[in-house]
Amino acid sequence: MNKELQQVEFLRQHAKQASQKAYAPYSNFPVGAAILMKSGEVISGCNVENVSYGLSNCAERTAVFSAIAQGYNAQDIAAVVVYTPGDKAYAPCGACRQVLAEFLANDTLITSTSERQMRQWTIEELLPDAFEFDVEAFRKPS
């Protein structure tokens, strides 16, 4: 197994373990995610659902939010791996793609895994022509 695949498998184990901590009583679909920081640290996330479905948060976003809260920045992220239950490796939803796009470089790989599948993308492949709003250009003059 080459080095890249070894790293994905290592992160997949973290993501799978994180999926066991998921709070998913509404979908019964526990997902885990693991972000490898360039420092070598792994930060995990799981989905955390809510009785008001719209306030549910996915595993990918939980991991990103945790990483930022632990002091990491955009340039610190080396790789993202997701684990979804079942045979099929599910791709991130649009909301997660948008949150990942705020922080990921385009050479950072996002890998989705299951027990039987593995799929890989860059963020540009997942969210082509990403929305990039120029805050300053629309700032109200004070």
- Shortest distance in whole angstroms from residue 139 CB to a copy of itself: 6
58 known member of a binding site: yes
How do beta strands 109-113 and 118-121 pair? antiparallel
Tell which one of 11, 16, 97, 104 touches a copy of itself (CB under 8 A): 97
Residue that has been written with the tokens 């950072």 in this structure: 108
Q: How many residues bind a copy of itself (CB under 8 A)?
A: 66
Given 60, 124, 132, 136, which residue is catalytic? 60
Selected from 8, 11, 16, 62, the binder of a copy of itself by CB under 8 A is: 62
Judged by beta carbon, residue 5 or residue 95, the one nearer a copy of itself is: 95
Q: Should residue 25 be labelled a site residue for a copy of itself when binding is judged by CB under 8 A?
A: yes
- DSSP string spanning 53-109? GGG-B-HHHHHHHHHHHTT--GGGEEEEEEE-SSSS-PPPPHHHHHHHHHH--TT-E
Number of Cβ within 10 Å of residue 126's Cβ equals 19
CB burial of residue 85 (10 Å; 0-12, 13-18, 19+):
middle
Return the residue of 11, 57, 104, 113 that touches a copy of itself, per CB under 8 A.
57
| CA atoms within 13 Å, Cβ hemisphere of 132 | 8
Contact predicate 126/110, CB 8 Å: yes
Q: Among this protein's residues, is 60 annotated catalytic?
A: yes
93 makes contact with a copy of itself (CB under 8 A): yes
By CB under 8 A, name the binding residues for a copy of itself: 18, 21-23, 25-29, 44-46, 48-59, 61-66, 68-71, 85-86, 90-99, 101-102, 119, 121, 125-133, 135-140, 142
Catalytic residue positions, numbered: 60
